[in-house]
Amino acid sequence: MSKIEDEVCEDLKNHSNAQSDVGEEAVENLIDKIQERAKMGHKKYGTTMERTDLTESEWETHLQEELMDAAIYMTRLMQINSEKWWFTRISGGLYWMINRQMIIMEMKRLADE
């Protein structure tokens, strides 16, 4: 794992929801998953998130692509089971934060052209 994943894991540990028994277990599970993804990424790509061959713009493109995927996955989950996934569309919810971030990033990209 790189220092970047370490920082994310530390932020998870310090989150207020991590202070309950269930939250603590959830955080530990997420940390395990992050560590596994870091190992998988290193094995697959031969580098870590601390790689220096990408520009800031290229990192932003990667982020925007991942956010687009997340919005699509959330929409599909809502279609499969709207009773379970209703919260993805509530005002201020993750779905709308993702959409907002994608729009802001695209506006910045267009302004930079």
Nearest 5°: CA angle at 57, between 45 and 68? 75
CA–CA distance, 100 with 96 (Å, rounded to integer): 6
Provide the residue-wise pLDDT of the chain in tens; the chain has 113 residues: 789 999 999 888 888 766 777 778 888 899 999 999 999 999 999 999 999 999 999 999 999 999 999 989 888 888 888 888 777 666 557 888 888 888 898 998 899 88
Quote the pTM value: 0.76
The domain spans of the chain are 1-53, 54-113
Burial grade of 27 (CB within 10 A; 0-12, 13-18, 19 or more): buried
